[in-house]
Amino acid sequence: MPPYNSNTSISYLKGVGPSRADLLKKELGIRTFGDLINFFPNRYIDRTQFYKINELQPNTSEIQVVGKISNIKTVKQKRGSRLVATFVDGTGTMELVWFRGVKWIKENLKVNVPYVVFGKATSFNRAFNIAHPEMELVSEYKRNLRSVMQPVYPSTELLTNKGVTNRVIQKMMQSLFEEYKGKFQETLSSSILKDEGFISKSEAYFNIHFPKSQELLTKAEQRLKFEELFYIQLQLIRKKMIHKSKIKGYPFEQIGKYFNTFYNDYLPFDLTNAQKRVLKEIRADVASNAQMNRLLQGDVGSGKTIVALLTMLIGLDNGYQAAIMAPTEILATQHYNAINSLLEEMDVHVELLTGSVKAKKRREIHAALESGELKILIGTHALIEDKVKFQNLGIAIIDEQHRFGVEQRSKLWQKNELPPHVLVMTATPIPRTLAMSVYGDLDISVIDELPPGRKEIATAHRFDSNRLSVFKFMKDEIAKGRQVYVVYPLIQESEKMDYKDLMDGYESIAREFPLPKFQISIVHGKMKPEDKEYEMQRFIKGETQIMVATTVIEVGVNVPNASVMIIESAERFGLSQLHQLRGRVGRGAEQSYCILMTSHKLSSEAKTRLETMVKTTDGFEVADVDLKLRGPGNIMGKQQSGVLNLKIADITKDSLLLSKARATAFNVLQVDPSLELADNLPIRKTYVGIQKNTAVWSNIS
């Protein structure tokens, strides 16, 4: 018997062959022995109980009966025919029915031979039948690997139609176990197994596919979940260690006149303790010889921009240039306006570079950048064009980084001999478990308090039938001198419908808030950038009281006087988007409000989203609910959704196991960074195999 090789093609397994192998690959992604052994059941059925036909009750669901087929007939139907077999067990009679694969099944059924039959029983006029039962000859049943709880594997309609039933997958698993006598290579060190009290890899595999008891099944699940999370963490932590030891950065050794002048003379408010803590972490990073690679999380309005500016000023003090890259022109412009006004009294050259900057101005920016006269450049993807050359870029700040692809970010790194220090900012709070799993190779800082004087935004859910009272509330707020946002969804697939909703909404608001008493701005994706900017500016200057918009304002519009956010068709937005939109208000000292408008028809998930918004303004709490509702893949967006393709662990439910796996991986690498100790050889071998087979981890940050 050759040693088990996880890369052997599944077509070589007894009972598979080329065409079935092709089907398994297409439908379930199973290509190799390793894919099959790691294809885990999604539930288990108790198969210890056998029923007699005369004991069956109308509400019995899945049952198991022993008996014989007494006769078989084919019954014509409107479309095709069905196969009906009479099944008897000495106490009564029932029918077994097939609607698909009739010819093949008929040829393979044996009359008057004992069968074990399993399936969902339904009753009609006290007569019971099972459609598409699982069947096994009693002689075979006694021979097979059997467990108390029968595994049920994920499947597809095509597999069932092609005869690859749950029973067939079980048989394939059995063949695999028989081929290798249930012996699989250990992948964890003996000290981890001992410290955590885990069963061996071979026992875990056996008891996940053929559980001998509930207790052993639980042990198998814990061991396999831990291992999956452990190797994710091992890769991330090792990547971080290599990064710190090998990727040199520019040491920012001094804090000089730029930082001190701004901090002492021009800082508009005292920093919160959280901001001070984060700055301390950043200063320690940039002072070392390694390149900083830090993620800065902070809820909307927590003061990330000031931290980013102070970080850039440290770079300037050490003779380097700084850049901020934002995903949209609106956000880049806002960063530019905010930073320019903060540095107004200081002699610092700041420029904005976006797609709509004219050619003459562009050339000026390029020249000033290369000469080193331009100190801070803020922009969109335009920053990574080949023409943009820095004299010495020392710090790169990326805002809402999940909106950028890996290639776009790496282009910014290549603007220099040494990579610049990197600070990645996000206002989308990332649940701790997801941050550990996805950004585990970054250092993470969190600004977890809002500046003093900020009031919590009051959030309410109203139905369309309450619209008149919502209009009245808007008028009351406008009478106090406040401004209002009204936001409509924009979902690409239904752009025409969304545009119509937006225009209908705009017209009904224009009727309710007529000129000249009220002024309304409108902003949407179909407008030219200059028209959009003109309308934005009117609202920012307070010339218009209402801004009707699609989600272009989701990130980055800062109007302290706007105190009301009305979100139309709120059920069509995701939780993090609702939270981002809410963060557009509450930026001044006045009480602010967010009103979620919906129809009465809501799915249970939409209700959960709305209830969460009304209940809490804490971004991390919102993000946790979002993670539970949508799963990690969706939260991270297309760029990185492949990263957490977990087979058995669930980062929302297994957060304690995740923390344990991370701590264990960290301890292993602290003691043995190259995994060369004899006890760690199984880990090293597995790690090398994973590195060879997955390129996804190199893409994370």
**Quick one: pLDDT band at residue 372, thresholds 50, 70, 90?**
very high
Mean pLDDT of the chain: 86
Task: Give the span between the Cα atoms of 30 and 22, in whole angstroms.
Answer: 9
Domain residue ranges in the chain: 49-147, 257-287+303-426, 458-616
Mean pLDDT over residues 604-626, rounded?
90
So what's the pLDDT on residue 497?
A: 65
Closest C-alpha among 39, 241, 61 to residue 153: 39
Q: Does domain 458-616 correspond to CATH entry 3.20.20.80?
A: no
Tens digits of per-residue pLDDT, 507-533? 999 999 998 999 999 988 778 878 888
**Quick one: pLDDT band at residue 495, thresholds 50, 70, 90?**
low
599 backbone dihedrals φ, ψ, rounded to 5°: -80, 175
**Quick one: pLDDT band at residue 644, thresholds 50, 70, 90?**
low
Residue 656 has pLDDT above 90, yes or no: no
Residue 554 has pLDDT above 60, yes or no: no
Residue 405 has pLDDT above 90, yes or no: no
So what's the pLDDT on residue 632?
A: 61
> Is the separation of the CB atoms in 478 and 539 below 8 Å?
no
Lowest mean pLDDT, pick from 573-577, 580-584, 650-654? 650-654
Q: Judging by DSSP bridges, how do beta strands 149-152 and 43-46 pair with one another?
A: antiparallel
Say which CATH topology domain 257-287+303-426 has. Rossmann fold (3.40.50)
**Which strands, in side-by-side order, build the sheet including 593-598?**
458-463, 593-598, 562-567, 483-487, 546-549, 520-523
Task: Give the span between the Cα atoms of 130 and 98, in whole angstroms.
Answer: 9
Mean pLDDT over residues 275-288, rounded?
94
Answer yes or no: same fold for 257-287+303-426 and 458-616: yes
Mean pLDDT over residues 251-277, rounded?
93
Tens digits of per-residue pLDDT, 95-115? 999 988 888 889 889 999 999
Look up residue 387 and give its two tokens: 């023409």
Look up residue 441 and give its two tokens: 């190779």
Non-local (6+) Cβ contacts of 364 within 8 A are none
Tens digits of per-residue pLDDT, 165-192? 888 999 999 999 988 887 889 999 999 9
So what's the pLDDT on residue 635?
A: 46
Residue 568 has pLDDT above 80, yes or no: yes
C-alpha pair distances (Å), 233 with each of 230, 434, 636: 5, 12, 18
Non-local (6+) Cβ contacts of 236 within 8 A are 437, 440, 441, 697, 700
So what's the pLDDT on residue 145?
A: 67
Between CA 645 and CA 653, with CA 649 as vertex, the angle to 5 degrees is 120
**Quick one: pLDDT band at residue 86, thresholds 50, 70, 90?**
very high
DSSP code of 266?
I
Task: Give the span between the Cα atoms of 263 and 279, in whole angstroms.
Answer: 12
So what's the pLDDT on residue 188?
A: 97
Lowest mean pLDDT, pick from 291-300, 350-359, 637-646? 637-646
So what's the pLDDT on residue 333?
A: 87
So what's the pLDDT on residue 406?
A: 52
**Quick one: pLDDT band at residue 594, thresholds 50, 70, 90?**
very high
> Is the separation of the CB atoms in 136 and 116 below 8 Å?
yes
Q: Is the pTM of this model over 0.85?
A: no
State whether the Cα torsion 321-325-329-334 is positive or negative: negative
Mean pLDDT over residues 454-479, rounded?
93
Tens digits of per-residue pLDDT, 41-75? 988 887 778 889 988 887 767 888 999 999 999 99
So what's the pLDDT on residue 642?
A: 43
So what's the pLDDT on residue 39?
A: 94
Indicate the length of the chain as a whole number.
701
Look up residue 617 and give its two tokens: 């303004």
Tens digits of per-residue pLDDT, 120-135? 888 887 789 999 998 8
The percentage of the chain sitting over the pLDDT mark of 70, rounded to a whole number, equals 91
Instruction: Label residue 227 exposed, middle or buried (CB < 10 Å: 0-12, 13-18, 19+).
Output: buried
Mean pLDDT over residues 267-277, rounded?
92
> Is the separation of the CB atoms in 192 and 681 below 8 Å?
no
Residues facing residue 117 across a β-bridge: 65, 135
The amino acid occupying position 435 is A
Instruction: State the Cα torsion 17-20-24-25 to the nearest 10°.
Output: 70
Mean pLDDT over residues 386-403, rounded?
84
So what's the pLDDT on residue 639?
A: 41
**Quick one: pLDDT band at residue 584, thresholds 50, 70, 90?**
confident
The architecture in CATH of the region 49-147 reads Beta Barrel (2.40)
Between 604-615 and 575-582, two packed helices, what is the crossing angle to 10 degrees? 30
Closest C-alpha among 187, 157, 153 to residue 170: 153
Tens digits of per-residue pLDDT, 6-27? 888 999 998 898 989 999 999 9
Mean pLDDT over residues 621-635, rounded?
73
Task: Give the span between the Cα atoms of 490 and 496, in whole angstroms.
Answer: 10
So what's the pLDDT on residue 319?
A: 94
So what's the pLDDT on residue 417?
A: 73
